[in-house]
Amino acid sequence: MAKKPETGGRMPLLMPEVGTRVSLESTRLTGRMWSRIVGWKEQQYLLLETPEAHLPAGITTAFSVNDVLTLRYMDDGVIVGFRSPVLGRITQPYPLTIVAYPHHAEKHSLRRHPRMACYLPCQVQLGELEIARAVIRDVSLNGCRIRVPAQALSILDDTAPELAVDTPIVVHVQLPDDPEPHAVAGRVVSFDQEAAYAMLRMESAVELVSLVEFVGMFTTRLELSDII
């Protein structure tokens, strides 16, 4: 099987698997909503779960027929984005939204940009030490950088920072649309301590697809002005 190209740019669209999580942006609302792909009919339409949305006063629906939605999802380390008009909505027995099938999409490889800056609160277990408040400051498919309060590491005062390398680490982070926190396991590969906090660089045992997907949706800029 030929390997998928990882370069960015406008390319023909291959639909992802049913159940793939998609971020949606509507001209009616600020911010992003999350949905999942339910199915499609090639060259005709794409079927999505209608997301729950907290609507401001005076707005009764997140989007209506003919509204243009911006959709993004991640496929094998590549952010795929396109714009499509809403063709219709179904309310019973399940809320579904039908959008036009896009002919092209903009693609941007996250593998070419391995670290993405972010600010995600998390909890950390560093060896036997539990740290209730920490922050993920950047993330890649292979790991992340975590800021922890220096006082939380007081138990390590008698240990040189470099000796923390290879310490087992588990990071717990809550993402939208997920009922349970994600647990990311790996090892510490670097450890720099400042006066008020320490920065830990961890290498994950598996690719951090969900974290990269979430952060990439918010930090990746795609040229979508004429893609429908």
More confident residue, 43 or 9: 43
C-beta neighbour count of 127 within 10 angstroms? 13
Give the pLDDT confidence score for residue 48 in this predicted structure: 94
In this model, does residue 31 exceed pLDDT 50? yes
Cα 218 from Cα 108, distance rounded (Å): 13
One domain, residues 14 and 98: yes
Does 222 fall in a domain?
no
Greater confidence (153 vs 188) lies with: 188
Same domain, 136 and 68: no
| In a shared domain, residues 153 and 204 | yes
Say if 221 falls within a structural domain: no
What does the pLDDT read at residue 9?
52
Please check whether residues 206 and 121 belong to one and the same domain.
yes
User: Residue 109: is its pLDDT beyond 80?
Assistant: no
Q: Rounded to an integer, what distance in angstroms lies between the CA atom of residue 201 and that of residue 94?
A: 43
Length of the chain: 228
The pLDDT-based confidence of 51 (bands split at 50, 70, 90) is confident
- Do 79 and 45 fall within a single domain? yes
The answer to whether residue 120 is domain-embedded is: yes
13, pLDDT greater than 70: no
| 97 and 121 part of one domain | no
- Domain boundary pick from 112, 141, 163: 112
Instruction: Choose the final residue of a domain: 112, 130, 155.
Output: 112
Query: Average pLDDT, whole number, for the chain?
Result: 79
| 91 vs 99: which has the higher pLDDT | 99
Nearest to 37 by CA among 3, 4, 84: 84
Structural domains in the chain (count): 2
Q: Mean of the pLDDT values across residues 89-107?
A: 89
Which run of H or E residues covers position 36?
strand 33-41
C-alpha 41, offset from chain centre: 26
Whether 79 maps to a domain, the answer reads yes
Place of tokens 């952010």: 79
Per-residue confidence (pLDDT) for residue 168, from 0 to 100 = 92
Asked which of 59-63, 89-93, 201-205, 221-225 is least confident by mean pLDDT, the reply is 221-225
In-domain check, residue 226: no
- Same domain (yes/no): 161, 208: yes
Q: Could you give the percent of the chain with pLDDT greater than 90?
A: 22
- Do 169 and 197 lie in one domain? The reply is yes
What is 67-128 written as a DSSP string?
Answer: PEEEEEEEETTEEEEEEEEEEEEE-SSS-EEEEEPPSEEEEEESTTS--EEEEEEEEEEETT
Q: Round to whole Å and give the CA distance between 172 and 184.
A: 6
- Residue 86, pLDDT score: 94
Q: The domain spanning residue 145 has which CATH number?
A: 2.40.10.220
Indicate the residue among 68, 92, 112 that finishes a domain.
112
Q: Is the pLDDT of residue 110 over 90?
A: no
Amino acid 47: pLDDT: 94
5 confidence band (pLDDT: 50, 70, 90): very low
Q: For residues 124 and 141, give the distance between their C-alpha atoms in angstroms, rounded to a whole number.
A: 18
Give me the phi and psi of 218, to 5 degrees please: -95, -20
Residue ranges of alpha helices (H) inside the chain are 209-219
Residues 108, 89: Cα–Cα separation, whole Å: 30
Do 126 and 158 lie in one domain? The reply is yes
* Dist CA 61 CA 66 (whole Å): 13
CB atoms near residue 9 (< 10 Å):
11
What tokens appear for 108 in the block? Answer: 């941007």
Q: Which pLDDT belongs to residue 223? A: 59
Residues 53-61 have a mean pLDDT of 71
CA–CA separation, 23 vs 31, rounded Å? 10
Does one domain contain both 14 and 97? Answer: yes
Q: Output the domain CATH number for residue 69.
A: 2.30.110.10
Q: Which domain holds residue 55?
A: 9-112
* Residue 54 confidence (pLDDT) above 60: yes
Instruction: Identify the pLDDT of residue 227.
Output: 43
Q: Nearest Cα to 225, choosing from 48, 104, 97?
A: 104
Residues 51, 26 within the same domain: yes
Smallest Cα–Cα separation from 171: which of 214, 125, 119? 125
Q: What is the pLDDT of residues 165-182, one digit of tens each?
A: 888 999 999 876 677 888
| β-pairing verdict for 78-90 and 116-126 | unpaired
| pLDDT above 90 (res 113) | no
Least confident span in 122-126, 135-139, 154-158, 188-192: 154-158
